[in-house]
Amino acid sequence: IVLIEKKDYIKNPKPSGYRSLHLIVQVPIFLQKNKKMVNVEVQFRTIAMDFWASLEHKLRYKKDIPADQAQQLQEELLACATQSAQLDNRMQEIRNQLVSRADKGNQS
């Protein structure tokens, strides 16, 4: 597998609040008589951000939402993305502390 491109929307969230890590990688596909390298995009995101992306996609491509309501929903989604990222950070910190404790316990 060869890394072609990396888009880090975790360190640099999109203005909409979207956060994820996108990697474009080249992977081998084995055919009957040869091997072909194919580009594939892999997206890493939390369950909450995956749900967020699904809602944002529906909002963006749904044609019958009035503009004022769409704007209100976009603002709400931005707030949700911010809260989701804060929760992810808090939970990661808890995990780090638990792993650190376990590591210290194994060294005794």
Q: Which residues are catalytic?
A: 41
- 103: how many CB neighbours lie within 10 A of its CB? 9
Structural contact between residues 58 and 80, judged by C-beta atoms closer than 8 angstroms: no
Distance of CA 97 to the CA centre of its chain: 23
